[in-house]
Copies of this chain bind each other. A is one copy, B any other.
């Protein structure tokens, strides 16, 4: 839980803290990263949308009953301005049910700068067909 108490001065720190809280099934650390806004939205893969803190918290509490969720966000594409950051990542779930199979998970995470710093306002995850694509930013093939 210690990591969640680091100062979260950047979007990257908030995103790292988010996936860290998932891995530790730390519901308090997780919920502290969301904006204090009734309009926050969370969509789990293949599930209906959840709006507001109570519904989102309840969904993660149910997931955490089975333990932490180990996700490595990879292949980030980001657009941002001074007050917002829009991240899209592929969620590498390692040895989970989607690993190496015929699907992968895409997630949009949107962060807004609030009076309390950068906070998550939207998490939209969904299932895409096919294996995770190769990273386009991989080192170039030399020959």
Assembly of this chain: how many copies? Answer: 2
- Residues of B contacting A49 with CB < 8 Å? 77, 88, 106, 128
Cα A80 to Cα B41 in complex, Å, equals 12
- Residues of B contacting A51 with CB < 8 Å? 77
Set B43, B82, B88: member contacting A122, Cβ < 8 A: B88
- Residues of B contacting A45 with CB < 8 Å? 126
Find out whether the CB atom of B130 lies under 8 angstroms from the CB atom of A48. yes
Complex interface bits, A95-135 against B, C-beta within 8 A gives 1, otherwise 0? 00000000000101010111000000110101111100100
Given A48-B133, A108-B108, A79-B128 contact (CB < 8 Å)? no
A86 within 8 A of B: yes
Find out whether the CB atom of B110 lies under 8 angstroms from the CB atom of A86. yes
Find out whether the CB atom of B79 lies under 8 angstroms from the CB atom of A46. no
Residue of B nearest to A130 (CB): B48
Q: Interface on A for B, CB 8 Å cutoff?
A: 35, 37, 39-41, 43, 45-49, 51, 77-84, 86, 88, 106, 108, 110, 112-114, 121-122, 124, 126-130, 133
Enumerate 6 A-B pairs (CB-CB under 8 Å) in ascending A order. Answer: A39-B79, A47-B129, A49-B106, A81-B83, A88-B124, A108-B108
Given A46-B126, A84-B110, A126-B126, 11 more pairs with CB closer than 8 A? A39-B79, A41-B86, A45-B126, A46-B129, A49-B128, A79-B121, A79-B122, A81-B84, A86-B122, A88-B122, A110-B122
